[in-house]
């Protein structure tokens, strides 16, 4: 069955997700990890409720200095 409410689940908050709107008004999520990792579907079936590749798109409240060089 499809996802009538369009809730993408985890993908909504994932740094690897790109929202794609079709000409028909449907919304898909493109998973950026699919480019480099075959375990991930290009357009995952939504909602995604569990995903090993999930990475929060929101900055972490702690440890935000970890990526500076």
Which spans of this chain sit near ligand SF4 (rule: CB under 6 A)?
A: 10-11, 14, 16-17, 29, 31, 33, 40, 44, 48, 51, 53-54
Of 28 and 54, the one with the shorter C-beta distance to ligand SF4 is: 54
Nearer CB in complex with ligand SF4: 39/67: 39
Closest CA to 34 of 57, 18, 13: 18
d(Cα 68, Cα 41) in Å, to the nearest integer? 31
In the complex with ligand SF4, which residue's Cβ is closer, 50 or 68? 50
Q: What span, in angstroms and rounded, lies between the C-alpha atoms of 62 and 67?
A: 12
């Amino acid at each position: 069955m499809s996802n009538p409410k369009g809730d993408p689940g985890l993908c909504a908050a994932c740094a690897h997700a790109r929202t794609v709107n079709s000409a028909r008004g449907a919304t898909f999520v493109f998973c950026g990890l699919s480019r480099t990792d075959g375990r991930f579907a290009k357009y995952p079936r939504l909602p995604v409720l569990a995903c090993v590749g999930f990475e929060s798109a929101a900055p972490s409240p702690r440890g935000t200095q970890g990526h500076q060089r």
